[in-house]
């Protein structure tokens, strides 16, 4: 499984579409461990681009603080799981909490 986390200042960015980079984290979900991780610069903001771009990178799941409903729908159309309301933490902490079924999520931080 490959998880994408939008990043700003080394932590999860609360607004998905305004992130600086993405942490792409390959995980062994059965073994509940991180296999590898890398950061990639986000492409210039363009409505509808990120779901296609991340799908091309093999992403199966996106964990974000907030994401607009159009983006959520575009990800789901590509079979990509979307989790919103995640805290602004370093990606390793977010991913491990997710793998261990203890990721505390709140409301979607985006209202459009």
pLDDT tens per residue, range 45-62 = 787 889 999 999 999 999
Q: Given this model, what pLDDT does residue 15 score?
A: 82
Q: What are phi and psi of 25, to 5 degrees?
A: -120, 115
Residue 106 belongs to a domain: no
Is-contact 39 88, C-beta < 8 A? no
Give the CA angle between residues 22, 28, 34 to the nearest 5°.
50
User: Is the Cα torsion angle 8, 36, 106, 78 positive or negative in sign?
Assistant: positive
Task: Give the pLDDT band (50/70/90) at residue 111.
Answer: low
Q: Given this model, what pLDDT does residue 87 score?
A: 95
Mean pLDDT lowest among 18-22, 62-66, 108-112: 108-112
Helix/strand number for the chain, H first, E second: 3, 6
**Is the whole-model pTM more than 0.85?**
yes
> What is the extent of the structural domain holding 8?
2-99
Domain of residue 55, CATH code: 3.30.420.130
Residue 110 belongs to a domain: no
Task: Give the pLDDT band (50/70/90) at residue 112.
Answer: low
In angstroms, the CA 68 to CA 85 distance is 12
Mean pLDDT of the chain: 92
Residue 109 belongs to a domain: no
Helix/strand/coil for 2: strand
């Amino acid at each position: 499984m490959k998880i994408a986390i939008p990043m700003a200042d080394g932590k999860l960015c609360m607004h998905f579409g305004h992130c600086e980079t993405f942490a792409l984290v390959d995980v062994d979900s059965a073994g509940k461990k991180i296999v590898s991780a890398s950061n990639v610069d986000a492409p210039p903001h363009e409505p509808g681009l990120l779901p296609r771009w991340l799908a091309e990178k093999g992403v199966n799941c996106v964990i974000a603080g907030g994401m607009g409903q159009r983006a959520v729908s575009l990800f789901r159309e590509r079979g990509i799981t979307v989790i919103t309301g995640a805290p602004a933490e370093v990606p390793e902490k977010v991913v491990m909490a997710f793998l261990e079924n203890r990721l505390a999520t709140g409301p979607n931080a985006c209202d459009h």
